[in-house]
């Protein structure tokens, strides 16, 4: 009986990797820029309203806490949501609700109600931030993450540059309502942009399906380097947040400057953000650790220099320096998380970053509100800058110890 031999099936050629979706990268960057700009216009306008109505540092502190506490408290939930649900549905739903909240803000001038609505607004940001931050890796692949992250951060920060000046001018001319309407409009554009982005995370997956599988457990704290980066980021940004409470009183009362000057000073920090983000992409010879050290040093020196300023105009160059470091630090941190964290846990990683980035500032806002009752703003700036430098020294020492522990042992004699 004849036997037949089955020939082995030809294996299918490996699928070509998807082409990078640079169109989506630029749309995403534009959405982040609009969102940040709208929020800063609204926050600056409300801060000026509180100060003009005689509210003290505690009211300003409460407003800033309203923007920072929800992302920190909600991070265990928002990270899991970002890792499990369709990104387009999240962006569209949350941004629509945020637009409604901004319109509600235009109907009141009550500080407590404005602060309560600010809590709801920042709760929405807590859900969208991990999605926005985690999308570039899926759009272009990990090999293109540095470029995509630089584009996203740079464009977002460019939207933040003119926002404080615009807020100062609009508030001085029309009051607080027009800036809040602009913020609502920015969220409407985010909804439209979210519908235009083709790249989607977890499309068609239920929460149970996304959570199941044989993926190994991942904890960001198991990565010693990332853990150190998050800790120092929270500490240094906490120091920078102390001055966010004090700066309006420093500019308006210590130096007697105008609302327009306050807006100009706030924009100076933003002006440094854009070249800071661009430098990360251009400077390729340095390791990420070196860029981080330089960025934290710029932030600390910017805070210290502000405390030494003889008048309001001298604050501007030091704020540009601080913003330069802030832009580089934010961009490098986003690159590191996209490169070192598994795709299935990227939302949780960015939610953890959001929690740390908001816990440090929240502590800074609390301390800033109390400090003003005991010392002048100038001395608070000097103390905050010294604190940032101390944390930088600790971070550098930790990196050196880690490098020594990981160094290969000297070869023994044969």
Nearest to 380 by CA among 396, 393, 364: 364
Sequence-ordered list of residues with C-beta below 8 angstroms from that of 403, at least 6 positions apart, any chain: none
Q: Report how far residue 182's alpha carbon sits from residue 187's, in angstroms, rounded to the nearest whole number.
A: 9
Sequence-ordered list of residues with C-beta below 8 angstroms from that of 272, at least 6 positions apart, any chain: 302, 319, 320, 321, 322, 323, 324, 325, 326, 327
The pLDDT assigned to 125 comes to 80
Q: Is 14 exposed, middle or buried (0-12, 13-18, 19+ CB in 10 A)?
A: exposed
Q: Report how far residue 167's alpha carbon sits from residue 175's, in angstroms, rounded to the nearest whole number.
A: 10
Q: Report how far residue 161's alpha carbon sits from residue 157's, in angstroms, rounded to the nearest whole number.
A: 6
248 Cα distance to chain centroid: 22
For the record, the structure tokens of 7 come out as 């020939």
Sequence-ordered list of residues with C-beta below 8 angstroms from that of 258, at least 6 positions apart, any chain: none
What residue ranges do the domains of the chain occupy? 22-201+220-404
Q: Is 9 exposed, middle or buried (0-12, 13-18, 19+ CB in 10 A)?
A: exposed
End-to-end CA distance of the chain: 65
Q: What is the DSSP letter of 391?
A: H
Q: Report how far residue 95's alpha carbon sits from residue 131's, in angstroms, rounded to the nearest whole number.
A: 12
Buried/exposed code over 263-273 (b: 16+ C-beta within 10 A; e: otherwise): bbbbbbbbbbb
The pLDDT assigned to 3 comes to 43
Q: Give the DSSP letter string of 234-268.
A: HHHHHHHHHHHHHHHHIIIIIS---HHHHHHHHHH
Q: Report how far residue 36's alpha carbon sits from residue 161's, in angstroms, rounded to the nearest whole number.
A: 10
The pLDDT assigned to 322 comes to 92
H or E element in which residue 386 lies: helix 377-406
| Local structure of 199: helix, strand or coil | coil
Q: pLDDT, tens digit, for every residue of 314-345?
A: 999 999 999 999 888 888 887 887 777 776 67
The pLDDT assigned to 12 comes to 41
The pLDDT assigned to 217 comes to 54
C-alpha distances (whole Å) from 338 to each of 18, 200, 267, 268, 353 are 18, 16, 29, 29, 12
Q: pLDDT, tens digit, for every residue of 353-387?
A: 766 766 666 677 677 767 777 788 888 888 888 98
Q: Report how far residue 399's alpha carbon sits from residue 403's, in angstroms, rounded to the nearest whole number.
A: 6
Q: Report how far residue 183's alpha carbon sits from residue 201's, in angstroms, rounded to the nearest whole number.
A: 26
The pLDDT assigned to 414 comes to 35
pLDDT tens, the chain, 414 aa long: 444 444 344 444 433 445 677 888 888 888 888 877 777 777 777 777 777 766 666 777 777 777 777 777 887 787 778 778 888 888 899 999 989 988 998 888 777 888 888 888 888 888 887 888 778 777 887 778 777 877 877 777 777 766 777 777 877 788 778 888 888 888 899 999 889 888 876 654 444 444 444 455 556 666 777 778 878 887 887 788 777 778 888 888 888 878 778 878 877 887 887 788 778 777 766 677 788 889 999 999 999 999 888 888 999 999 999 999 988 888 888 788 777 777 667 777 777 776 676 666 667 767 776 777 778 888 888 888 898 899 888 888 877 776 655 544 444 443
The pLDDT assigned to 318 comes to 93
C-alpha distances (whole Å) from 297 to each of 101, 323, 355, 400 are 38, 11, 23, 17
Is residue 159 within 8 Å of residue 36, measured between CB atoms?
yes
The pLDDT assigned to 381 comes to 87
Does the domain made of 22-201+220-404 have the CATH classification 1.20.1250.20? Answer: yes
């Amino acid at each position: 009986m004849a036997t037949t031999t089955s020939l082995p099936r030809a294996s299918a050629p490996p699928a070509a990797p998807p082409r990078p979706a640079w169109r989506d990268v630029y749309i995403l960057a534009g959405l982040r820029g609009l969102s940040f700009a709208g929020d800063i216009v609204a926050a600056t306008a409300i801060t000026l309203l509180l100060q003009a109505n005689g509210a003290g540092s505690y009211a300003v502190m409460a407003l800033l806490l309203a923007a920072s506490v929800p992302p920190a408290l909600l991070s265990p939930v928002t990270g899991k949501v970002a890792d499990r649900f369709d990104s387009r549905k999240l962006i569209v739903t949350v941004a629509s609700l945020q637009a409604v909240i901004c319109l509600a803000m235009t109907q009141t001038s009550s500080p407590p109600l404005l602060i309560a609505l600010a809590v709801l607004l920042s709760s929405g940001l807590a859900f969208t931030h991990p999605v926005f931050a985690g999308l570039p890796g899926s759009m272009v692949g990990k090999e293109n993450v540095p470029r995509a992250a630089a584009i996203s951060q740079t464009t977002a920060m460019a939207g933040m540059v003119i926002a404080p000046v615009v807020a100062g001018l609009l508030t001085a001319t029309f009051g607080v309502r027009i800036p809040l309407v602009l913020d609502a409009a920015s969220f409407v554009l985010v909804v439209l942009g979210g519908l235009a982005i083709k790249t989607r995370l977890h499309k068609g997956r239920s929460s149970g399906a996304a959570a199941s599988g044989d993926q190994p457990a991942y904890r960001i704290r198991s990565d010693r380097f990332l853990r150190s980066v998050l800790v120092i980021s929270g500490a240094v940004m906490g120091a920078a947040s102390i001055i966010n409470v004090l700066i309006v009183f420093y500019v308006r009362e210590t130096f007697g400057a105008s609302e327009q000057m306050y807006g100009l000073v706030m924009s100076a920090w933003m002006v440094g953000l854009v070249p800071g983000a661009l430098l990360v992409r251009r400077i390729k010879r340095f390791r990420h650790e070196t860029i981080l050290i330089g960025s934290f040093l710029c932030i600390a020196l910017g805070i210290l220099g502000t405390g030494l300023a003889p008048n309001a105009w001298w604050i501007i160059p030091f704020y540009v320096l601080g913003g330069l470091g802030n832009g580089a630090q934010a961009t490098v941190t986003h690159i590191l998380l996209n490169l070192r964290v598994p795709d299935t846990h990227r939302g949780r990683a960015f939610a953890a970053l959001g929690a740390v980035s908001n816990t440090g500032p929240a502590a800074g806002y609390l301390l800033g509100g109390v400090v003003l009752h005991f010392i002048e703003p100038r001395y608070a700036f000097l103390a905050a800058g010294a604190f940032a430098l101390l944390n930088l020294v600790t971070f550098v020492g930790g990196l050196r110890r880690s490098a020594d522990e990981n160094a290969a042992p000297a070869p023994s004699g044969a």
